[in-house]
C-alpha cells in the first residue's frame, strides 16, 4: 500500500499539472495548523518565482482543479498562497480497509531487502552491566526489531569485550587465588575442566580487586600484561581459562539482557577474531596504507576538507600489541567475509564519535569494506540522575543495570498493588511487564543522541507520555473488545464505516500514517518516532473513546464499525510497541 502523503501528493501534483505548473510543486505535508486544515501544500509559494506570478493566484488555479476530487473533500487557497486541505472521509475509510487486509498494515516490503549487522553490546567479561549499557541494549535492540519488521535481515552481535588488559587482570587475579589450577601448569597436556570452577560473583569480585592492585603494584601490573599477552597469543592454559571466563560471563549477561527482552544472534567477542589480526595487519602493510609513526603502526585518515585535527588511526601499539581499533577493524573484516552485509550499524556512547570516524575512514581507505557497504554509527547520550549528572547509586557508586531494573519493577509493583485488586502473583508478573515498558519507553521516547534524566517516578507513572500510559490504553481497548465478544459480537467480522465525528476521523488519520512512520523510523534509525506515533495514537483513541458510547450503541452497523476501528487501533499499537521491545498485558 502506498503511503498516505504520497497518495495525496500524487493527487495534488496532477492538479498542479492540470493548471499548467510543475507537478513536483504538489508536495503535500501534514498541517502545522490543525485548527485550519488537516494537510497542507506550499507549492504555490515555491512556484511563485519560477512562474512570476503571485502565489495566491497559483493556489487558486490549483484549488479549482480539485473541486470534484474524492481524495480531498475541501481545498482552500489562503493568503499568501497556502493550500489548506481536508481529506475525503470515504477515501480515508478505503485506506483503513486496505490496511486491515494487508500484512503489516500496508507497510510495503523493501525492493531489495538489506542484510544488516548491528553491534549494540559493548559488555565486558567479568564486569556487571551498568546503567550505560541500558541505552545500547534498548536502542540497538529496537533498531534491530524495526529493521526486521520493515523486511530486512538483521544480525545482532554482542561484540563482547574479552580481549584487552581486563582479561589479563581477571586471569592473573584467578591465578593469585588458585595458583594450583592446571590452567597455570605449563607442562599440563590433558583436558581442562568442563565445568566452571568459579561463579560470576567471584569474577565480579576479582576484577575490581585486580584492577585496583595493578594501579599501585607495578610488578602485579606486569604480570597482568603478561597474562594478557599469553591469552592473546592463545597459550593453551590461558586461552582455555579465558574461554571459561567468557562462558560464565555470557551466561550472566544473558540473564540480564533477557530481563530487557533483548538478545543477540552472535555472542562474538574481540577474541573471536584474534586469528584475523595478523592477516589484517599484513594486508594494511602490503597495501601501503600502514606505516610506523612514533613506534606504532598507523593509517592516516586525514582528508583535505577536514577543518579539525584528525589523528591517524592506530593499528598496533608501539609494543606490537593490538588495541580497540585493531579488533574493531578485524571484526569488520570478519563480518564482511561471513555475512557480506549491506550495512553495519554501531550503537555506542556518543563520546566515541571521533573514534568511529577514524575507524570508518580507515576501513574505507584500506578497502576493508567496499563503497557499497554502509557504515553507520549511532552515538547515544548519557543517562543522568535528577541532578543532571550521570546516574549513580545513592552512595555515589555505579548503578548496576539489574538493580535499576529491579528498582523499576518494585516501584511498578507498589503502584499496581496500590489501586487495584490483584493477586500478589499476578501483580508481580504484571509489574515486570509494565516496568519493562516504563524503562524502554522512558529511554526510547528521547532522541538517542541526547542525554536524558532517569526519573523513576515519571517513567513509572500511568499519566502522561509514558510506557504505562500506552499499555493502559491498549488494555482499555482489549477490555472493550472482550465485552463486545461477551455480548455476542464478532470483532473479526466487523466492518469499518466512514468516520462521523472529528475525533473519529482524527484517529483514522493517525492510523493511516502507520506505514510511512515505520518506514521513516527504519531509515532514520529512530525509535523515538514510533514512540511519538503511538503516543499520539493513544491520545487520539482516548479522545474518541471519551465522546463515543460504543457498546450501548443501538445501530449495529455503526457499532461494528467502531469495533473494527478499535481492533485496528489495538493491532497497530501492539505491533508498534512490539518493535520497540515490550508488550501489553490483558489486565493491569
Give residues 232-291 in contact with RNA (rule: CB under 7 A): 270
Whose cell is 499499555? That residue is: 471
Q: Which is nearer to RNA, 197 or 532 (CB)?
A: 532
Is the C-alpha dihedral spanning 551, 552, 555, 558 positive or negative? negative
Binding region for RNA (CB under 7 A) out of 62-70, 107-115, 212-220, 445-453: 445-453
Q: And the C-alpha cell for 556?
A: 449495529
Site for RNA in 549-568 (CB under 7 A): 549-552
Q: Which is nearer to RNA, 233 or 293 (CB)?
A: 293
339 binds RNA (CB under 7 A): no
CA distance 142 to 27: 31
* Minimum CB–partner distance for residue 448 and RNA (Å): 8
* Minimum CB–partner distance for residue 548 and RNA (Å): 5
Residue 32 Cα distances to 28, 29, 436, 540, 556, angstroms: 12, 9, 34, 17, 37
* Closest C-alpha among 95, 99, 143 to residue 572: 99
* Minimum CB–partner distance for residue 480 and RNA (Å): 4
Site for RNA in 394-413 (CB under 7 A): none
CA distance 74 to 18: 18
105 binds RNA (CB under 7 A): no
Q: Which of 60, 69, 461, 571 binds RNA (CB under 7 A)?
A: 461
CA distance 221 to 172: 9
Q: Which is nearer to RNA, 540 or 575 (CB)?
A: 540
Q: Which is nearer to RNA, 372 or 425 (CB)?
A: 425
- Contact string 293-312 vs RNA (x = CB under 7 A): xxxx-x--------xxx-xx
Q: Which is nearer to RNA, 106 or 161 (CB)?
A: 161
* Minimum CB–partner distance for residue 383 and RNA (Å): 10
Site for RNA in 112-141 (CB under 7 A): 122, 124
Q: Which is nearer to RNA, 55 or 581 (CB)?
A: 55
Q: Yes or no: say if 170 and 210 are a contact pair by the CB < 8 Å rule.
A: yes
Binding region for RNA (CB under 7 A) out of 61-69, 125-133, 206-214, 538-546: 538-546
Q: Which is nearer to RNA, 82 or 149 (CB)?
A: 82
Q: Which of 196, 259, 323, 516 binds RNA (CB under 7 A)?
A: 323
Site for RNA in 162-181 (CB under 7 A): 163-166
Site for RNA in 478-537 (CB under 7 A): 479-480, 483, 528, 532, 535
40 binds RNA (CB under 7 A): yes
Contacts of 419 (CB under 8 A, 6+ apart): none
Helix (H) / strand (E) element for 30: namely strand 28-30
337 binds RNA (CB under 7 A): no
Q: And the C-alpha cell for 347?
A: 550503537
DSSP state, residue 399:
P
Name beta bridge partners: 386: none
433 binds RNA (CB under 7 A): no
* Minimum CB–partner distance for residue 367 and RNA (Å): 21
Site for RNA in 178-217 (CB under 7 A): none
* Minimum CB–partner distance for residue 153 and RNA (Å): 28
Helix (H, G, I), strand (E, B) or coil at 131: helix
Q: Which is nearer to RNA, 498 or 532 (CB)?
A: 532
Contacts of 588 (CB under 8 A, 6+ apart): 416, 430, 433, 434, 468, 471, 472, 475
Q: Which is nearer to RNA, 338 or 479 (CB)?
A: 479
Q: Which of 21, 91, 472, 533 binds RNA (CB under 7 A)?
A: 472
CA distance 565 to 509: 11
CA distance 26 to 498: 27
CA distance 349 to 347: 7
CA distance 276 to 335: 11
Strands across the sheet containing 115-119: 153-157, 115-119, 343-349, 374-380
Q: Is 235 left (phi over 0), alpha (psi -120 to 50) or beta?
A: beta
Site for RNA in 347-376 (CB under 7 A): 350-355
Residue 326 Cα distances to 159, 243, 367, angstroms: 14, 20, 15
Q: Which of 97, 548, 574, 583 binds RNA (CB under 7 A)?
A: 548
Q: Which is nearer to RNA, 153 or 574 (CB)?
A: 574
Q: Which is nearer to RNA, 75 or 154 (CB)?
A: 75
* Minimum CB–partner distance for residue 193 and RNA (Å): 27
Annotate 522-536 with three-state secondary structure: HHCCCHHHHHHHHHH
Q: Which of 148, 177, 476, 558 binds RNA (CB under 7 A)?
A: 476
Q: Which of 6, 258, 464, 523 binds RNA (CB under 7 A)?
A: 464
Q: Which is nearer to RNA, 35 or 191 (CB)?
A: 35
98 binds RNA (CB under 7 A): no
Name beta bridge partners: 380: 349
Torsion of CA 173, 177, 183, 188, to 10 degrees: 140
Q: Please count the residues of this chain forming the interface with RNA, following the rule CB under 7 A.
A: 90
- How many Cβ atoms from other residues are within 10 Å of residue 389's Cβ? 11
Q: And the C-alpha cell for 573?
A: 499499537
CA distance 287 to 361: 15
Whose cell is 571484526? That residue is: 331
Q: Which is nearer to RNA, 124 or 366 (CB)?
A: 124
* Minimum CB–partner distance for residue 109 and RNA (Å): 24
DSSP state, residue 266:
B
111 binds RNA (CB under 7 A): no
CA distance 413 to 586: 16
Q: Are strands 39-41 and 72-78 parallel, antiparallel or unpaired?
A: unpaired
10 binds RNA (CB under 7 A): no
Q: Which of 244, 314, 412, 494 binds RNA (CB under 7 A)?
A: 314
Q: Which of 33, 212, 302, 414 binds RNA (CB under 7 A)?
A: 33
Site for RNA in 43-82 (CB under 7 A): 45-46, 78, 80, 82
Q: Yes or no: say if 175 and 220 are a contact pair by the CB < 8 Å rule.
A: no
* Minimum CB–partner distance for residue 349 and RNA (Å): 8
Q: Which is nearer to RNA, 413 or 452 (CB)?
A: 452
Amino acid at each position: 500500500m502506498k503511503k498516505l502523503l504520497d497518495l495525496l501528493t500524487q493527487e495534488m501534483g496532477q492538479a498542479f499539472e492540470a493548471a499548467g505548473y510543475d507537478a513536483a510543486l504538489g508536495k503535500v505535508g501534514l498541517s502545522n495548523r490543525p485548527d485550519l486544515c488537516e494537510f497542507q501544500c506550499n507549492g504555490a509559494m515555491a512556484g511563485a518565482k519560477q512562474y512570476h506570478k503571485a502565489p495566491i493566484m497559483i493556489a487558486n488555479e490549483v484549488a479549482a482543479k480539485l473541486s470534484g476530487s474524492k481524495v480531498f473533500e475541501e481545498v482552500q487557497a489562503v493568503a499568501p498562497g497556502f493550500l489548506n486541505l481536508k481529506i475525503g472521509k470515504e477515501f480515508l475509510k478505503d485506506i483503513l480497509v486496505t490496511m486491515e487486509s494487508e500484512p503489516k498494515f500496508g507497510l510495503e516490503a523493501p525492493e531489495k531487502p538489506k542484510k544488516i549487522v548491528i553491534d549494540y553490546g559493548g559488555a565486558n567479561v567479568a564486569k556487571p552491566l551498568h546503567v550505560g549499557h541500558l541505552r545500547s541494549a534498548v536502542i540497538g535492540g529496537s533498531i534491530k526489531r524495526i529493521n526486521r519488521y520493515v523486511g530486512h535481515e538483521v544480525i545482532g552481535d554482542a561484540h563482547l569485550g574479552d580481549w584487552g588488559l581486563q582479561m589479563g587482570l581477571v586471569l592473573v587475579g584467578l591465578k593469585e587465588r588458585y595458583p594450583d589450577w592446571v590452567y597455570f601448569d605449563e607442562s599440563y597436556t590433558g583436558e581442562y575442566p568442563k565445568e566452571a570452577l568459579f561463579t560470576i560473583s567471584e569474577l565480579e569480585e576479582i576484577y575490581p580487586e585486580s584492577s585496583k592492585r595493578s594501579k599501585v603494584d607495578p610488578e602485579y601490573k606486569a604480570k597482568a600484561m603478561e597474562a594478557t599477552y599469553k591469552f592473546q597469543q592463545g597459550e593453551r592454559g590461558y586461552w582455555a581459562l579465558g574461554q571459561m571466563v567468557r562462558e560464565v560471563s555470557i551466561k550472566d549477561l544473558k540473564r540480564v539482557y533477557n530481563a530487557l527482552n533483548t538478545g543477540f544472534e552472535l555472542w562474538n567477542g574481540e577474541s573471536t577474531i584474534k586469528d584475523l589480526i595478523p592477516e589484517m595487519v599484513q594486508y594494511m602493510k602490503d597495501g601501503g596504507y600502514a606505516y610506523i609513526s612514533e613506534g606504532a603502526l598507523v593509517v592516516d585518515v586525514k582528508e583535505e576538507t577536514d577543518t579539525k585535527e584528525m589523528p591517524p588511526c592506530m593499528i598496533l601499539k608501539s609494543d606490537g600489541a593490538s588495541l580497540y581499533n585493531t579488533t574493531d577493524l578485524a571484526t569488520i573484516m570478519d563480518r564482511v567475509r561471513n555475512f557480506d552485509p549491506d550495512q553495519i550499524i554501531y550503537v555506542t556512547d556518543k563520546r566515541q564519535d571521533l573514534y568511529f570516524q577514524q575507524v570508518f575512514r580507515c576501513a574505507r581507505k584500506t578497502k576493508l569494506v567496499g563503497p557499497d557497504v554502509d557504515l553507520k554509527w549511532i552515538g547515544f547520550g548519557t543517562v543522568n540522575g535528577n541532578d543532571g549528572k550521570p546516574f549513580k547509586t545513592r552512595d555515589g557508586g555505579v548503578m548496576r543495570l539489574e538493580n535499576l531494573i529491579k528498582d523499576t519493577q518494585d516501584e511498578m509493583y507498589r503502584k499496581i498493588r496500590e489501586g487495584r485488586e490483584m493477586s500478589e502473583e499476578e501483580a508481580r508478573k504484571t509489574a515486570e511487564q509494565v516496568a519493562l515498558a516504563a524503562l524502554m519507553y522512558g529511554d526510547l521516547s528521547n532522541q538517542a543522541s541526547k542525554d536524558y534524566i532517569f526519573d523513576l517516578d515519571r517513567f513509572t507513572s500511568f499519566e502522561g507520555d509514558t510506557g504505562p500510559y500506552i499499555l493502559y490504553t491498549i488494555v482499555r481497548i482489549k477490555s472493550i473488545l472482550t465485552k463486545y465478544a461477551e455480548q455476542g459480537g464478532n470483532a473479526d467480522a466487523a466492518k469499518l464505516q466512514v468516520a462521523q465525528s472529528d475525533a473519529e476521523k482524527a484517529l483514522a488519520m493517525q492510523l493511516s500514517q502507520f506505514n510511512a512512520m515505520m518506514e521513516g523510523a527504519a531509515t532514520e534509525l529512530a525509535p523515538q518516532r514510533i514512540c511519538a506515533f503511538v503516543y499520539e495514537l493513544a491520545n487520539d483513541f482516548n479522545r474518541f473513546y471519551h465522546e463515543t458510547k460504543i457498546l450501548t450503541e443501538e445501530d449495529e452497523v455503526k457499532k461494528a464499525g467502531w469495533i473494527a476501528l478499535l481492533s485496528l487501533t489495538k493491532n497497530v499499537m501492539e505491533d508498534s510497541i512490539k518493535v520497540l521491545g515490550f508488550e501489553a498485558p490483558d489486565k493491569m
